Amino acid sequence: MKQFFTIAGTVAVLVCCALALAIFTGEREDDFPAPTASEKNPQALAERGAYLAKAGNCLGCHTVRGGQPYAGGRELPTPFGTFVTPNITPDKDTGIGNWTAHDFWRAVHYGKSRDGHVLYPAFPYTEYTKITREDADALFAFLQSIAPVKQAAASDRLDFPYNVRPLLYVWRALYFKAGTYQSTATQSPEWNRGAYLVQGLGHCNACHSTRNALGAAGGAALGGGQVAGRSWYAPSLTSENEAGSGARSVEETMRLLSTGLTDKGAASGPMTEVVAQSLQHLGPADLRAMAVYLKSQSTGDTKAAATSSTFAAEVQARLDKGGKIYEKQCKDCHGESGGGTPGAYPALAGNPSVTLASPVNAIRSVLDGGFVPVTRANPRPYGMPPFAQSLSNEEIAQVISFIRNSWGNQASVVSAVQVDKSGSD
């Protein structure tokens, strides 16, 4: 027995030492490039920063609905509790008015605040660490150039043990490595630019990957995952069974990114906000670069050809009822055979968003409806009505099951319970 404790004690000490070493080496901050030469022209720097802030969608989290831009206060619900985003306007008391470019670099690159405390990765520094010093300086110059807003953020409301901030050192030792984007020499400058935007500023992986129990991106990069704290699934950007762009032309992906709409599908849920606030503002060269990079990330898997399937009588009866609802509620816009209306209403036949293994996006689209975002390229979009108030959960389950199993589509049938569970955020 005594021997057991000795061994257990030794193991515990070794684990602690290894962890301490990992934290010590991981937390070294030896990468502080000198401020960039372009600082000599602060206005040009701030203008470039404004563009980069759009590419990084800083506004998306750092602004509350209808509130002052970048003044923070938006609540981010997560499985660990609710984060409240900070004010990043240059107000000296409640914002980042006292920060230097060096402090800002430390935050985006090392995930540490001005006073050195480690930041929760709800701020996606796991991705932002790839941002170059030049771009970080430009972002900082922009944020310092906007009007200061005096608005103190409420405190985060995190559950135990996530509210014990020092535990973040362990998390960081396991899941975070600081480092700017390194070009792949065998790829074109365009591809590398796309990779930089997708992996770094765009922080696409923050939603489009599976998160493990500790909230770290766990699965394959861009492999798709449930959006933290929301009843939405961010589809895989690599699988052709989901939102992979291997089969799409680069131009079509550019259109999807900048307007949220192609003839074959539409962005929905949280992605519409990303299109409206971020992607529509990107220049064609950057959009193309992202599309080129995303296309190269396709795993090349192809959808299994639909086999003619027969359903049990009670399932078939539900599908038939769904067909009647489709006829009455959906057909006018999405077409009798799910072909959609080009430029306005996406096709449902052969649309991978409809046949995702998780039906949650289809359910939310029917429950809440929604307009395609207003963008420069599509200033007068069309929309879909919400059906939560007019159809029962069972009727919604029936019509989605019908859509998921018609015109060559093949996916699981949906139950009223699934609709009920997807009904909130």
Partner 1 sequence: MPAIDREHAKMTTMNSSSFLASIASLTVSLSANAVTGPAPDTFAERAKPCLACHASEGRKARDEYYPRLAGKPAGYLFNQMTHFRDGRRQHRAMSLLMENLSDAYLRELASYFSGLPAHYVASQLPAASPTATPLVTLGDPARKIPACNACHGKEFLGVSPAIPGLLGLPADYISAQLGAWKVGTRKATAPDCMAAIARELSAAEVSAVAAWLAAQPLPAGGHPVAAIANDLPVRCGSVENNANNAADISAKALKP
Q: Under the rule (CB under 8 A), what is the footprint of partner 1?
A: 64-67, 272-273, 275-276, 333, 335-337, 339-345, 368-374, 379-390
How many residues are recorded in the chain?
A: 425
Q: How far is the CB of 135 from partner 1 (least distance, A)?
A: 27
Minimal distance in Å, beta carbon 153 to partner 1? 16
Exposure string of 361-393, with b = 16+ CB inside 10 Å and e = fewer, is bbbbbbbbebebbebeebeebeebeebbeebeb
**Shortest spacing between CB 45 and partner 1, in angstroms:** 29
φ/ψ (deg, to 5) at 77: -75, 135
**Nearer to partner 1 (CB atom), residue 95 or residue 346:** 346
Judged by CB, which is closer to partner 1: 273, or 301?
Answer: 273
Which lies closer to partner 1 via its Cβ, residue 158 or residue 349? 349
Nearer to partner 1, 238 or 361 (CB): 361
To partner 1, the closest distance from the beta carbon of 253 in angstroms equals 20
Comparison of 33 and 270: residue with beta carbon closer to partner 1: 270
Q: What angle do CA 58, 356, 361 make, to 5 degrees?
A: 50
Distance in Å, CB of 261 to partner 1, minimum: 12
C-beta separation of 86 from 152 below 8 A: no
* Least Cβ distance, residue 47 to partner 1 (angstroms): 23
Least gap, CB of 395 to partner 1 (angstroms): 14
**Cβ 293 vs Cβ 198: under 8 Å:** yes
Considering the complex, state which of residue 104 and residue 233 has its C-beta at the smaller distance from partner 1. 233
DSSP string, 128-189: HTTS-HHHHHHHHHHHHHSPP---PPPPPEEPTTTT-TTHHHHHHHHH---------TTS-H
Shorter beta-carbon distance to partner 1: residue 136 or 363: 363
How far, rounded to the nearest angstrom, does the alpha carbon of residue 268 sit from its chain's CA centroid?
A: 12
Min dist CB 270 to partner 1, Å, is: 10
- Closer of 218 and 381 to partner 1 (Cβ): 381
Least distance to partner 1, CB of residue 68, Å: 11
Residue whose token pair is 């409420």? 154
Q: How far is the CB of 65 from partner 1 (least distance, A)?
A: 4
Q: What is the phi-psi region of residue 387: left when phi exceeds 0, alpha when psi lies from -120 to 50, beta otherwise?
A: alpha
Q: Of 255, 200, 178, nearest to 56 (Cα)?
A: 200
CA separation for the pair 66, 273 (Å, rounded): 14
The one-character DSSP state at 341 is B
Q: Taking the alpha carbons of 58, 59, 60, 61 in that order, is the dihedral positive or negative? A: positive
Between 108 and 282, whose beta carbon lies closer to partner 1? Answer: 282
Are 164 and 15 a contacting pair, CB within 8 Å?
no
Q: Is the peptide bond preceding residue 161 cis, with omega within 30 degrees of 0?
A: yes
Residues 369 and 178: their CA atoms lie apart, in Å, by 40
For residue 202, count CB atoms less than 10 angstroms from its CB and return exposed for 0-12, middle for 13-18, buried for 19 or more. Answer: buried
Integer Cα distance of 333 and 348 in angstroms: 11
The token pair that represents 120 in the structure block: 């929760």
Closer to partner 1 by CB, 61 or 108: give it: 61
